[in-house]
Amino acid sequence: MLTLRRMMIGTAFFVVILLDIWQHVHIVTMGYEVEQAQQKQKEMQQIHKQLLVEVETLSALDRIERIAITKLGMVKPEEGQVVLVEKGLPSGSSPDTMTRIQVAKKGS
């Protein structure tokens, strides 16, 4: 009986030690995963900043005007070529919400 009891205590002690080791390994593994996720987040934030700069660069009005004139052959409208078209107002809207669109007629 005494050896059976010692064997059970030894087995229980062994199981507790194994669970403790597994817990520490799991904590270390999770730490590495958190570190990798933080690194990925930093990379994504850097990419986001670069994309914001690119959007600002590509949507600059001077750039768009230069491309319109040089690559698309567009010209600035002369006086009398611009026609203002007013969008109808939905019911209950005020004139402040009216949208105006400028259209240049080519060759007019």
Which pLDDT does position 102 carry in this prediction?
A: 47
Q: Which residues contact 75 (CB under 8 A, 6 or more apart)?
A: 69, 106
- Take residue 44 and report the two structure tokens written for it: 């994504």
Q: Give the residue extent of every domain in the chain.
A: 2-74, 77-108
User: Tens-of-pLDDT digits for all 108 residues of the chain?
Assistant: 779 888 999 999 999 999 999 999 999 999 999 999 999 999 999 999 999 999 999 999 999 999 999 999 999 888 888 877 777 666 665 555 444 444 444 444
The pair phi, psi for residue 79, each rounded to 5°, is -60, 135
CA distance 83 to 104: 7
pTM over 0.95: no
57 with 63: CB under 8 angstroms? yes
Residues 6+ apart with CB under 8 A from 34: none
Q: Is 82 helix (H, G, I), strand (E, B) or coil?
A: strand
Does residue 84 sit in helix, strand or coil? strand
Q: Which tokens sit at 71?
A: 């690559």
